[in-house]
A and B are shown apart, each in its own frame.
Chain A
Amino acid sequence: MSQAKAGGNAAFVEFSHVQKSYDGVSLVVKDLNLSIGKGEFLTMLGPSGSGKTTCLMMLAGFETATHGEIRLGGREINNIPPHKRGIGMVFQNYALFPHMTVGENLSFPLEVRGMDKAERETKVKRALDMVQMGNFINRRPAQLSGGQQQRIALARALVFDPELVLMDEPLGALDKQLREHMQFEIKGLHDRLGITVVYVTHDQGEALTMSDRVAVFNDGVIQQLDSPDELYERPKNSFVAQFIGENNKLPGTVEELDGHKCLVRLANGELIDATPVNVREKGQQTLVSIRPERVEFKPEMMPKGAHTIRAEVKDVIYMGDILRARLKVAGSDNFVMKMRNTISQTKLAPGETISIGWHPQDARALDPV
């Protein structure tokens, strides 16, 4: 696994060799090492049950680490109770106190800190204005829409000026449009306030658009920790390649291997170019992954000497900005190719046979699944 480089800053949050088990039988988090720089927006992304919430809860202090150390600002916090950690948190279902008004919800963290009334009022007002909810101060949470509740939850987590804010799928309950809008707002707040954010989601689009770095979780292990573009373009293993974005998978065996290039023989005997990522030797089984938008079918678009293989067009779906062709390649017929919908774009017809190829660096030979 790639060791985190914390964007040049000293690590602000650090997990070292953290393990967690709920039942004493299985590990939910297995040897987690992660350091997060100050001011960073880090997203934990992964399928359901992969241990994201557990990590967040350990950081917030609601779960104890079975083993390992968690540090915040250089200080070990394993034994510090949650209310002394000073971490802001946004829960998936907002957890706004239903018996308090919006204003009371926001002033709660300030009250328990013993702040006087005048100061509380200015801070609450400032936080509400920050999320454009200044007029809602006397409403109850039940009188707000989902998106409005979300904003209040956000304001409440920020009102006491924490340096670190944790968010567990905060947008999970919103519709797509509102979600995108809120992503934009959260990102804006992060940039403006300079806070450190640890964000949990299982929506990869959200992770890619918002984060400085993304930690892809699976089965209690960080599979890859990288910036969004690295993650998308250079996945380090098959799990990441499949989890992030759409991907074509071609299983085969390594035929030739030299440093930065390799040849892979597919099941039907055809040869393709690929970049070796985690294959070590000739004869090894591999899964080659290629993004649909990087597949070419016009010879002039392919580099010289690139291998091509035959493909039969099964159907072409019109999607507006792009055309999505489903091809039969090497015996399997769910190979996808995406073409820009331009005036001069070649129209493919179902049943047609074409030759496809790609730049070797776009095809990554990963571990077989």
Chain B
Amino acid sequence: MTDQTAPPGLGAESLTTADGRPLKAALHRAQARAKRRAFLLVLPLLAFVLLTFVIPIGIMLFRSLNNPDFVSYSDIDSGTEIPVMQNVQAWFAANPQGTEPDEAAYAALAADLVHLKEIKAQGSVGTRINYVLPGSRSLFTSSARDAAKLAPPYKEAVLALDEKWADPAVWQAMRSSAGTITGDFYILAADFERDDSGAIVRTAEKERIYLYLFWRTFFLSGLITLICLVLAFPIAHLLATLPLSKSNLLMILVLLPFWTSLLVRTTSWIVLLQQQGVVNDALVALGLIGTDGRLTMINNQTGTIVAMTHVLLPFMILPLYSVMRTIKPSYVRAARSLGATSWTAFRRVYLPQTLPGMGAGVLLVFILAVGYYITPALVGGADGQLISNMIAFHMSKANWSLAAAIATMLLFSVLILYWLYDRLIGIDNLKLG
């Protein structure tokens, strides 16, 4: 409606302050101080995030691709890196993939085994090969023990020590471990392995675990997220509509789990759900089930679902509540006065306005659930374990590279989901508070 134009001679470019400096420069100067101060204020947080988040994730990514255990041995006593298996590596470099190991190869192996024995690195190297070819660790430790006695011809001598050295799989495993940078751990984490010729093939059917665990993790997380949403919606609605005095009390009940240790909460579910637990006792007492028909609700998937839903529920309630609180009752009233039944008013007017809260809650709960570790470990039994439990398992076995590879895959699948979410719903529609 207004068609005012800038006064003549005052184009945006030529604006200057009273003392003739360009307006933009003056503004920039005036703001620079404030910006510097703001930056100094966030500096500690920046350093903290860098130190505790960015760097560890970087290290994890690096770890998943890097494992030098077959190339060098870090001697704890002297604190130095000692190169190992150099003769075998030289032979690998000289002979292409698929070459049958000849006398030279066995001679190199014998020399390396002697060296391993000297610096006591046979365990470390064996473990590295063991990751790719289970059962190989003992091959290294036992052969290294007697390596000093080896004499030419080396091929017979080594094979006399242990038949397994003739296995092409062993040589293939050593060849693929010969670099510091390797994708082997991703191959393993995706249920693949290298065959004798070095080609990547699927693992035997009954040894495939990771992909299934990934699938189960995402399925259970999705299910838990859905249950949380269904349970949280009415509670959040109640919180948002009750008078303040009552909603405060309810809010305390919602937040109560946050003030109790995760361990206590999880173990109390054991008390409730175990075979001789409160729930089963009550069902038996009510005559709903017989004494011999007690339900198994803990140490299986049910346990994981129940306990994780409980733990994660507040993360769904809070964003939903904060969004619902801002939806004025006059919207639903307006819909009603316009002729909508209460169901239509809810569906067409109220529900769409809670979407940002639902989006935030769903994303939050799902991402937390995908990485959950302690609850499934405590109440999940065998079939309630998630992928994080597998990560923890490999970490406990000091197989850092495989743990890091699985963790990295988890991270990227979550990032992909996040990206999908952004494409479908839009991250700007998210409202956490």
Q: List A residues at the B interface (Cβ < 8 Å).
A: 60-62, 81-83, 85-89, 91-93, 95-99, 108-109, 112-113, 156-157, 160
Asked whether B137 is an interface residue with its Cβ less than 8 Å from the other chain, the reply is: no
A160, B335: Cα distance in complex, Å: 13
> A113 — which chain B residues lie within 8 A by C-beta?
339
B340:A95 contact, CB within 8 angstroms: no
How far is the CB of A349 from the nearest CB of chain B, in Å? 45
In the complex formed, the residue of B with least CB distance to A92 is B330
A60, B338: Cα distance in complex, Å: 11
Asked, given contacts A97-B349, A99-B352, A108-B348, whether A83 binds B336 with beta carbons under 8 Å apart, the answer is yes
A93:B338 contact, CB within 8 angstroms: no
A89:B341 contact, CB within 8 angstroms: no
A89, B330: Cα distance in complex, Å: 11
A89:B334 contact, CB within 8 angstroms: yes
A95:B352 contact, CB within 8 angstroms: no
Asked, given contacts A97-B349, A99-B352, A99-B353, whether A83 binds B341 with beta carbons under 8 Å apart, the answer is yes
A95, B339: Cα distance in complex, Å: 15
Asked whether B80 is an interface residue with its Cβ less than 8 Å from the other chain, the reply is: no
Count of B residues near A, CB < 8 Å? 20
How far is the CB of A361 from the nearest CB of chain B, in Å? 45
> B335 — which chain A residues lie within 8 A by C-beta?
97, 108
Asked whether B206 is an interface residue with its Cβ less than 8 Å from the other chain, the reply is: no
Within 8 A of A (CB), among B326-345: 328, 330-331, 333-342, 344-345
Asked, given contacts A91-B330, A98-B353, A99-B353, whether A60 binds B337 with beta carbons under 8 Å apart, the answer is yes
Asked, given contacts A97-B349, A98-B353, A108-B348, whether A160 binds B334 with beta carbons under 8 Å apart, the answer is no
Within 8 A of A (CB), among B292-344: 328, 330-331, 333-342, 344
Asked, given contacts A83-B341, A108-B348, A112-B344, whether A95 binds B336 with beta carbons under 8 Å apart, the answer is no
28 contacts between A and B (CB under 8 A): A60-B337, A62-B333, A62-B337, A81-B336, A82-B333, A82-B337, A83-B336, A83-B337, A83-B342, A86-B339, A88-B337, A89-B333, A91-B330, A93-B328, A95-B331, A95-B333, A96-B334, A97-B334, A98-B353, A108-B335, A108-B338, A109-B338, A109-B339, A109-B340, A112-B338, A112-B341, A157-B337, A160-B338
A82:B349 contact, CB within 8 angstroms: no
Asked, given contacts A86-B339, A89-B334, A113-B339, whether A95 binds B328 with beta carbons under 8 Å apart, the answer is yes
B340:A93 contact, CB within 8 angstroms: no
> A82 — which chain B residues lie within 8 A by C-beta?
333, 336-337
In the complex formed, the residue of A with least CB distance to B1 is A145
> A97 — which chain B residues lie within 8 A by C-beta?
331, 334-335, 349, 353
How far is the CB of A281 from the nearest CB of chain B, in Å? 50
> A157 — which chain B residues lie within 8 A by C-beta?
337-338
> A88 — which chain B residues lie within 8 A by C-beta?
337-338
How far is the CB of A128 from the nearest CB of chain B, in Å? 16
How far is the CB of B324 from the nearest CB of chain A, in Å? 14
A88-B338, A98-B353, A112-B341 provided; 11 other pairs, C-beta below 8 A? A60-B333, A81-B342, A89-B333, A91-B330, A91-B333, A93-B328, A97-B335, A99-B355, A108-B348, A109-B339, A112-B339
How far is the CB of A117 from the nearest CB of chain B, in Å? 17
A89, B328: Cα distance in complex, Å: 16
> B345 — which chain A residues lie within 8 A by C-beta?
83
How far is the CB of A96 from the nearest CB of chain B, in Å? 8
A109, B340: Cα distance in complex, Å: 7
How far is the CB of B109 from the nearest CB of chain A, in Å? 71
A83, B353: Cα distance in complex, Å: 21
B339:A83 contact, CB within 8 angstroms: yes
A62:B328 contact, CB within 8 angstroms: no
In the complex formed, the residue of B with least CB distance to A91 is B330
**How does the 8 Å CB contact mask read for B345-362 relative to A, with 1 for contact and 0 for none?**
100110011010000000
> B352 — which chain A residues lie within 8 A by C-beta?
99
How far is the CB of A110 from the nearest CB of chain B, in Å? 9
> A95 — which chain B residues lie within 8 A by C-beta?
328, 330-331, 333-334
A83, B344: Cα distance in complex, Å: 11
In the complex formed, the residue of B with least CB distance to A87 is B337
A156:B338 contact, CB within 8 angstroms: yes
> A62 — which chain B residues lie within 8 A by C-beta?
333, 336-337
In the complex formed, the residue of A with least CB distance to B352 is A99
A172, B328: Cα distance in complex, Å: 17
How far is the CB of B42 from the nearest CB of chain A, in Å? 31
> B339 — which chain A residues lie within 8 A by C-beta?
83, 86, 109, 112-113, 160
A157, B328: Cα distance in complex, Å: 18
A112, B331: Cα distance in complex, Å: 15
How far is the CB of B137 from the nearest CB of chain A, in Å? 62
> B342 — which chain A residues lie within 8 A by C-beta?
81, 83
> B353 — which chain A residues lie within 8 A by C-beta?
97-99
A160, B339: Cα distance in complex, Å: 9
